[in-house]
Amino acid sequence: MRCVWTDLCVTVNGESLLLDKSGAAYWPKTRTLIFADLHFEKGSSYARGRQFLPPYDTRATLLRMAEVVTRRAPARVIALGDSFHDPHAAERLGAEERALLESMAAGAHFIWITGNHDPHPPAWLGGAVMPEWREGGLIFRHEPRADAERGEVAGHLHPAASVAKYGRGVRRRCFVADAIRLLLPSFGAYTGGLDVGDPAIASLFGSRFHAFMLGQDRVYAIPRQVGRRKSSEDIQPMITAIATAARP
């Protein structure tokens, strides 16, 4: 396995995943690229309520996706659910957006995991539609489960974290991981974030875990501690991973 420093590498249930600065994860062993919560046409979904958000979010999301796909050249792409913001979102896609999506689908096999926003992704997209996908030590699903087995890779919660220094705070989308599971940040251009300290996220992890915040050129590993209990057991595999990554 080869890691470059711009990619942090985490090991979840024995499988190594690269955390891409874009917010996607890459699984080199199977050449699989993973995106969560694309929320296509979220902007235009607000028009029904007569709120006219600039309708460029899908294009922005797809262009960012295309950039990672070109860079990683995956054999397979997994979208972890909530790829479409609402049941009619696919009908509203513009011609340019459709073409972008189709050209990506032509080069890689797509697996569309279903989400609460898109229980039935459109059939014309091709690829496979399924509620879960298991392979090797990993299981891919939309919504993380409290009682999940080791190796869960999920989205749904849109994690974000903040840190402060020099009297200023920085808030970014982030991956969250411990040795058991990996949560991906939402990838859609109009998707907001939920703080990792929120019980919905924190309760999934032990007292210590890591937020991997998205920076301009790389991902930053930030330790998080919930409560005062100190335990080094949860964190141990993560440190190894960072040390490996840090070595040139």
The binding site for other proteins (CB under 8 A) comprises 43-44, 47-57, 59-60, 92, 162-172, 189-193, 213, 215-217, 220-223, 239, 242-243, 246
Quote the least distance from Cβ 62 to other proteins, whole Å.
Answer: 12
Residue closer to other proteins by CB (options 13, 58) is: 58
Quote the least distance from Cβ 63 to other proteins, whole Å.
Answer: 9
Residue closer to other proteins by CB (options 157, 213) is: 213
Quote the least distance from Cβ 217 to other proteins, whole Å.
Answer: 8
| Beta-ladder partners of 177 | 182, 210
Residue closer to other proteins by CB (options 147, 217) is: 217
What does the DSSP assignment read for 3-64?
Answer: --TTSEEEEETTEEEEE-TTS-EEEGGGTEEEE----BTHHHHGGGGT----TTHHHHHHHH
Residue closer to other proteins by CB (options 203, 216) is: 216
Buried b (16+ CB within 10 A) or exposed e, 165-202: eeeeeeebbbbbbbbbbbbbbbbbbbbebeebeeeebb
Quote the least distance from Cβ 241 to other proteins, whole Å.
Answer: 10
